[in-house]
């Protein structure tokens, strides 16, 4: 069996999970390889997981040559159809696309098929340019575990870029504590910055942050309703409960103020 390597454009999307690969391998064992690998310039453009499964099963992989002039668009289209990626995962893919090494022009063409700018990559993946820029920072400055947490959909790229600003040892300590710790640390880092001095793109709302804030608002509203039922008894609450109530109110106020700033400045 020929030893094929994945094309650089094929590696911008995250690998399958162990379970997903095991399921694919079992399906090929039972039913054979249904879809051939797509090969471009002697490398696998699509089907690297099928190729790996076939090798492990001792099956000769079927291949077909890529026909077209835009291998990047082909890879993006193929992967987006069979994967459900959130905004942060797509931003990470776009950042990798914009950082691909130069390839060699296709036959009868002087255009490098892998040459793609951040704005062009953002458009292909349906994300904003600021999101791609943040993802690029995560790739360049974040530890591998931080990048992996974004790839797996556990952490937003907006949170990850804040953690990537820290020394590697601090990043690892936070990431090892889990996704909740990452989000909490990112919120603290953002809070330390002065909002009027924020740079362009820092306050862009992303869907993960919006969901987190919405859950916070709903949770606070439920607790507020419960406390409102106490009426006049509220003033007689013990010290710990009053502190808890005020901390919740302060955290909610900060979140809503930040959201209002983003909306006023058109970063939604």
Report the C-alpha gap between 43 and 38 in whole angstroms.
Answer: 8
One-letter-per-residue 3-state SS of the chain: CCCCCECHHHHCCCCCCHHHHHHHHHHHHHHCCCCCEEEECCEEEECHHHHHHHHHHCCCCCEEECCCCCHHHHHHHHHHHHCCCCHHHHHHHHHHHCCCCCCCCCCCCCCCCCCCCHHHHHHHHCCCHHHHHHHHHHHHHCCHHHHHHHHCCCCCHHHHHHHCCCCHHHHHHHHHCCHHHHHHHHHHHHHHCCHHHCCCCCCCCCHHHHHHHHHHHHHHHHHHHHHHCCHHHHHHCCHHHHHHHHHHHHHHHHHHHHHHHHHHCCCC
Which of 17-26, 99-108, 140-149, 182-191 comes out lowest in average pLDDT? Answer: 99-108
Report the C-alpha gap between 53 and 201 in whole angstroms.
Answer: 42
Q: What is the pLDDT of residue 15?
A: 81
| Whether pLDDT at 196 is above 70 | no
Token duo for residue 56: 């492990």
pLDDT band at residue 254, thresholds of 50, 70 and 90? low
Q: What is the average per-residue pLDDT within 91-119?
A: 70
pLDDT band at residue 106, thresholds of 50, 70 and 90? very low
Q: What is the pLDDT of residue 223?
A: 57
- Nearby residues of 118 by Cβ (< 8 Å), 6 or more positions away: 94, 95, 98, 129, 132, 133, 136
Report the C-alpha gap between 21 and 9 in whole angstroms.
Answer: 20
| Whether pLDDT at 209 is above 80 | no
pLDDT band at residue 61, thresholds of 50, 70 and 90? very high
What percentage of residues in the chain have a pLDDT greater than 90?
A: 44
Which of 55-64, 68-77, 246-255 comes out lowest in average pLDDT? Answer: 246-255
Q: What is the average per-residue pLDDT within 204-228?
A: 58
Tokens 């901390």 belong to which residue?
247
Q: What is the pLDDT of residue 112?
A: 45
Boundaries of every domain in the chain: 204-264
β-strand partners of 46: 38
- Nearby residues of 158 by Cβ (< 8 Å), 6 or more positions away: 88, 131, 134, 186, 204, 206, 208, 209
Q: What is the pLDDT of residue 68?
A: 86
| Whether pLDDT at 251 is above 70 | no
Q: What is the pLDDT of residue 248?
A: 61
**Residue 215: exposure state from Cβ atoms within 10 A (0-12, 13-18, ≥19):** exposed
**Contact yes or no for 139/14 (Cβ under 8 A):** no
Q: What is the pLDDT of residue 203?
A: 46
Which of 49-63, 152-166, 182-196, 197-211 comes out lowest in average pLDDT? Answer: 197-211
Rg (alpha carbons) of the chain, rounded to whole number: 24
Q: Please, what is the average pLDDT of the chain? A: 79
């Amino acid at each position: 069996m020929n030893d094929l390597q994945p094309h650089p454009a094929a590696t911008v999307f995250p690998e399958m999970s162990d379970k997903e690969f095991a399921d694919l391998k079992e399906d090929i064992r039972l039913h054979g390889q249904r879809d051939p690998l797509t090969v471009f310039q002697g490398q696998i453009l699509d089907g690297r997981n099928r190729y790996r499964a076939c090798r492990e099963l001792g099956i000769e992989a079927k291949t077909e040559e890529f026909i077209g002039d835009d291998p990047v668009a082909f890879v993006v289209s193929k992967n987006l159809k069979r994967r459900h990626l959130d905004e942060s995962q797509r931003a990470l893919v776009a950042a990798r696309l914009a950082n691909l090494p130069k390839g060699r022009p296709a036959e009868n063409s002087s255009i490098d098929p892998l040459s793609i700018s951040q704005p062009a990559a953002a458009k292909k993946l349906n994300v904003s340019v600021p999101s791609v820029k943040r993802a690029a920072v995560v790739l360049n400055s974040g530890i591998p575990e931080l990048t992996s947490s974004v790839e797996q959909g556990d952490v937003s790229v907006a949170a990850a870029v804040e953690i990537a600003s820290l020394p590697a040892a601090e990043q690892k300590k936070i990431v090892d504590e889990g996704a909740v710790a990452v989000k909490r640390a990112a919120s603290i880092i953002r809070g330390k910055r002065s909002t009027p001095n924020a740079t362009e793109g820092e306050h862009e709302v992303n869907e993960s942050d919006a969901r987190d804030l919405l859950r916070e608002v709903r949770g606070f509203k439920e607790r507020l309703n419960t406390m409102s039922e106490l009426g006049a008894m509220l003033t007689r609450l013990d010290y710990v409960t009053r502190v808890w109530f005020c901390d919740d109110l302060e955290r909610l106020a900060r979140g809503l103020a930040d959201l209002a700033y983003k909306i006023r400045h058109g970063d939604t």
